[in-house]
Structure formats: C-alpha cells, structure tokens
Amino acid sequence: MIETIKKRFALSNKGAKDFCKGVFFTTLFDLALMLPAIFVFFFLEDYLRPVFNPAASVTHGLTFYILLGISFMIVMYIIAVLQYQSTFTTVYEESANRRISLAEKLRKLPLAFFGEKNLSDLTATIMDDCTDLEHTFSHAVPQLFASIISLSLIAIGLFFYNWQLALALFWVVPFALSILFIAKKKLHKENQIHYQNKRMVSEHIQEGLDTVQEIKSYNNEKDYISKLNNKIKAHEKQQTESELLIGVLVNGSQSFLKLGLASVIIVGASLLATDKTDLFTYLIFMVIGSGIYNPINEVLNNLAALFYLDIRINRMNEMEALPIQQGTTEFQPKGFDIQFQKVYFAYESGKQILEDLSFTAKQGEITALVGPSGSGKSTAAKLAARFWDIQSGKILLGGEDISLIDPETLLEYYSVVFQDVVLFNTSIMDNIRLGKRSATDEEVLYAAKLAQCDEFVSKMVMGYKTIVGENGETLSGGERQRISIARALLKDAPIVLLDEATASLDVENETKIQSAISALVSNKTVLIIAHRMRTIANADKIVVLNKGTVAESGSPEELKKKNGLFARMVDRQMLHIK
C-alpha cells in the first residue's frame, strides 16, 4: 500500500507513511467532533427520559457531566494536536524534502535538460508546484479520505440505531459528491489550460527580464507589453471561468447537503406522528445532522486544489523519472590525457554537432580547438567535462571512460572558464573563493593578482569586499571575466578548460592573463577554445574543427605551412587587423 501511495501522490517513503498517519488521526478528529453530540445524547437521555417515562430516574448528577464534558474536551484537544502534527507539520517536512529532492535531481541532470527548459518553468516547479502540493496535502487530501472513513463509520452506527432517520440524513451525500465527479473531466481540462496559461505568463515575464536591454534598444516596449497584456487577459478569463464553474459546483453540492437535515426533520416528524420513534431519538438525529456534514464541506472548500492535484503530481513524477548522470565516485586517474575516440554528438535528433571526432589533448601541453562558428569547439570542451553525454564513441581521461565516472567526482579535476561568466550577488572575494572553498584570503588574493584583478579592485572603496550585484551587474565584461579566471587559477586543478576566456579582455590584459595561465600549466592538460589566433600562438597543438570533425591538427607552425583551413583563418584575421 505504501508503494501505491508513493507513486499516486509523488511522496517519499516517509511521506507515504506520514500520509497514512495523517488520514488515521484526521479520521479520529472527525469522529471526535461527534463527542459533543454524544455528550448531548447522554445528558438528554438521562434528564429527558424521566419526563417521558416517570418510571425512569436520573442516574448521574451534574458533577458527572461536568467531568465528562472536561474529559471530552481534553480528548478532542489531544486528537487535534496529533492531527495537526500528522498533517500540517509532517506535510511541511515532506514539502521541504521534496524541494531538496528536486534540487538534487536537477544537480544530477545533464545540461541538455537545461537547454530544453527555461528558468521560469523550473522555478515554478520547485516553488509553485511544491507550495500547491503542500497546501493540498495539509488541507484537503487526508481530510477527503478521513471524511469518507468517518462518515462511513458514523453512518453504520446510526443505521443500526434508526435506519429510517439515518437514510434521511445520508442519502444526500452520494448525490452531492456525484455532481462533482460528473464534472471532473471538464474541471481537469480547465485546470490543464489554467496551468499552461499561467506558465505562459511567467515565461513571458522571465523573457522580458532576460532581454530588457534588447527590448529597450529596439523600442520594442509597446509590443512586449501588448503581448503580455493579451496573455494575462487570456489567463484571467480562463481562471474566472474555472473559478465560476467550481464555485457553482461547490455551492450546489453544499446546498444539496442541507437537504439532508430537512429530510431528517420531515421523516422524523412523520415517524414521531406514527409512534415509530420517540422525541428523544428525533432530537438526537437533529443534533447530529447539524454538524455531520462539516468534514465534507471542508473537503468541498478545497475542491479546486484537489482537482488540480493530478497536474502537479504528474509534473513531479515527470521530474523524478528524468534520467540522471551517474558513475563511480572512486576515481584516481593515472594521468590527465583527454582522448576523443570517434565521438558522435547531437543536441537534438537530426542536428549532428560532432561526427567521428577523434583527437588527444595531452597532459603538460596546451591544446587549442579552433574552427569556424558552429564547428563544435565549445561543445567538445563541454563534453570533455561530461556536461553532456555523447551518443557514441568514447571520451577518456587518463585512459578511463568518463561516462562511467560521477560528474561531480570528475569535475574535481577540472578548472573551467567559459565566455559567459556567472557571478553571485556577494563580494569579489567570495566570488573568487568559489574556486576553492577552503582557500585562505592570501591564496584568494594571489589568484586575483595573477588574473589581473588588482587593477580594478584597487579603485573600489571596499576593495575585495565589494558586493558585485546580481550576476556582477556593477562590473564590466572584462572585469567579470578576470574574476572567473581567478576562480580557475585558485582551484589549481590538473585540467584547465578555457572557452573564449579572454574574449572580453583588451590586448594588454589578454597578454597578462596568458602569461599567468602559462605559469600554471606545467604538467597540466589545457584545452583552449579561441577565435583570436594570437591567443593560441603559444599552443603546443592546434586541432582545427570543421562541421564537427577534425579537419587538420598539428603545431601552429606546421599548420601554417600546410596552407589549409588554419592558415586561411590566420590570414583573414591578419587582413582584418590591417
């Protein structure tokens, strides 16, 4: 049963067990709500029976009923506390674990996944979907099961007591619920549309935030706002229709439930008139009928969340089903040569990026990947660090297939600098220390000096304690790039990947950075991707890629003499400089 619950509601093993506890204690709580009616039953039976039957006498005094009332209140309080802990508290814990689990899942997914998803979509899954599930599982789902169980138990007991009045009281329940379930298909369709429209609005807002410079630069504000307004209006219209439909159904069902008490009044009066029941029984059913539907009404009030539940759960199950990158965490390479052996790779079917790619980047050498735009240079560098998994062939590190190594374990041996730098909204010192968490301030400052960061940091009032803003918004592109290079220098890993790492630097600083990098490449594997030919002038080996395969390879001097693609690229750049 636990496995079924886990799969049906996208819960962890502990979450499924806590869910069962929540249903159990919510059922007890629903039954405990009948204790006041039981109290009234005992009191009236003791004090009213003598009125109708002079032979009967009062068996308990007021003290007994005061103590009984206090006992009932204590029992109700204890059950309420247990019910709260087993639903709200444990649901919040499960929600926290779900978010952590999703974050762990995302951490282990290949980057290809993030290329297919946008930020707003992932944020909505982690935050909005989890929040909605949290609310539903704390306010509606356990209550639904508990209501069914508690009402069934109460109904059985009342049917044995007086089946006519019990039938009058409960006949409305299946009819009220049937109204909702008949409309479930329609509601499910409305919820799917609502979910998609909401995502479209979020994605459009996120797109505007990401491209605000382009929108303003090309005077596209009116068009952007117009499209956003149209999407918001469509979302509002659909949501209004959905809420109206749910409101009509819920209010209709709740109104229908009230017919149960009216039925008890009519049937009870008829039975009383024909002496088939007594006034005492009639009054008891009246008291019970006034509160028996409260658990159902609570479920109905959360009906929208209940019918919305499947969409959220399906989303969670989809995330959990995504294949992750795995491998051994026990990896001690005997060397750091990187070998590409007949590698094929495509981001999507039918669009091959790399085809039969084979080359070796040797330890202790600088290997440069060059070629026209779209030739696969950056892709090859990312594949070398297992940011993606290849379709066929092998990539070896020290003779070991990297597809068999855990990505996080593998990346311990890599220092990576890409053209698109990501900085965090913290100090320059902390941004550099990301390369090595345990680094001392002296080590951080030394790496920063090698990366030529001193030049611009010394002009700041707070120096290395300066907060750089979101993604380094207060810094220039070149300054951000130098911080990124300082990270890689601080990590001091045996493999260095530089993808257009000096593209944002001027010629003077590029020369300084190249000198700093050269000082650190002793006995390391260095893979550089660059368009500037002067950047790779000191490379030991150049691999020229064209259409995802090796067109030629060799030292810069050898390739210039061949007068092939590399030589033509050098000539074009020299001509452009002139």
pLDDT in tens, 515-569: 666 666 667 898 988 777 777 777 889 999 998 899 999 988 888 888 888 888 8
Report the pLDDT value the prediction gives residue 484, as an integer from 0 to 100.
Answer: 87
Question: Do residues 344 and 354 touch, judged by C-beta distance below 8 A?
Answer: yes
Q: Which two tokens stand for residue 434?
A: 């990301």
Provide the mean pLDDT of the chain.
Answer: 83
Provide the 10 A C-beta neighbour count for residue 221.
12
Band of residue 298 on the pLDDT scale cut at 50, 70, 90: confident
What does the block give as tokens for 366? 């600088």
Backbone dihedral region for residue 472 (phi beyond 0: left; psi -120 to 50: alpha; all else: beta) = left
Cβ–Cβ < 8 Å for 215, 181? no
Nearest Cα to 358, choosing from 372, 376, 346? Answer: 376
φ, ψ of residue 527 to 5 degrees: the values are -120, 115
Categorize the per-residue pLDDT at 42 as very low, low, confident or very high, splitting at 50, 70 and 90: confident
In terms of DSSP H, where are the helices of 290-330? 294-301, 303-321
* Direct distance between the N- and C-terminal alpha carbons of the chain, in angstroms, rounded to an integer: 76
Alpha-carbon torsion (560, 562, 568, 569), positive or negative: negative
Residue 351 scores a pLDDT above 80: no
> Does residue 218 sit in helix, strand or coil?
coil
What is the per-residue burial (b if ≥16 Cβ within 10 Å, else e) of 157-177? ebeeebebbbebbbebbeebb
Containing H/E element for 389? none
Going 189 to 190 to 195 to 196, the CA torsion angle's sign is: positive
- What number is the average pLDDT over the span 244-249? 80
Tell me if 426 sits within 8 A of 483, measured CB to CB. Answer: no
Q: Mean pLDDT across the stretch 183-192?
A: 74
Q: Is this model's pTM higher than 0.85 or not?
A: no
**What is the reported pLDDT for 361?**
94
Q: Between 524 and 188, whose confidence is greater?
A: 524
Beta bridge partners, 510, equal none
Joined tokens for residue 153: 């138990």
- Classified as helix, coil or strand, 177 is helix
Say whether pLDDT at 66 is over 50.
Answer: yes
Greatest mean pLDDT among 211-215, 336-340, 364-368, 506-510: 336-340
Helix (H) or strand (E) holding 221: helix 221-273
CA–CA gap between residue 214 and residue 35 (Å, rounded): 67
DSSP H or E stretch at residue 400: strand 400-401
Do 59 and 5 touch, CB atoms closer than 8 A? no
Long-range contacts of 116-124 (CB under 8 A, 24+ apart): 118/203, 118/206, 118/207, 119/206, 119/210, 120/199, 120/202, 120/203, 120/205, 120/206, 121/199, 121/202, 121/203, 123/202, 124/198, 124/199, 124/202
What pLDDT, in 10s, does the model give residues 75-112?
A: 999 999 999 888 888 888 888 888 888 888 888 887 76
Three-state secondary structure call for residue 453: coil
Give domain limits for the chain.
2-319, 327-413+523-578
CATH class of 2-319: mainly alpha
Q: What is the 8-class DSSP label of residue 459?
A: T
Q: Which residue, among 328, 313, 439, 442, has the nearest Cα to 386 in the 3D structure? A: 328
420-476 pLDDT, tens digit each: 788 999 999 999 999 999 999 999 999 998 888 888 999 998 999 999 987 788 888
- Beta strands 495-499; 414-417: pairing state: parallel
Residue pair 23/82 in contact by the 8 Å Cβ criterion: no
Name the more confident of 493 and 569: 493
What's at 503, amino acid-wise?
A: A
3-class DSSP assignment, residue 496: strand
- Quickly name the fold that domain 327-413+523-578 has: Rossmann fold (3.40.50)
Q: What percent of the chain is predicted at pLDDT more than 90? A: 19
Reported as a pLDDT band with limits 50, 70 and 90, residue 116 is low
Among 205, 4, 20, which residue's Cα sits nearest to residue 119? 205
- Indicate if the pLDDT at residue 45 is higher than 80: no
| Higher pLDDT, residue 457 or 131 | 457
Report the percent of the chain where pLDDT is more than 70: 90
Please report which confidence band the pLDDT of residue 578 belongs to, taking 50, 70 and 90 as the band edges: very low
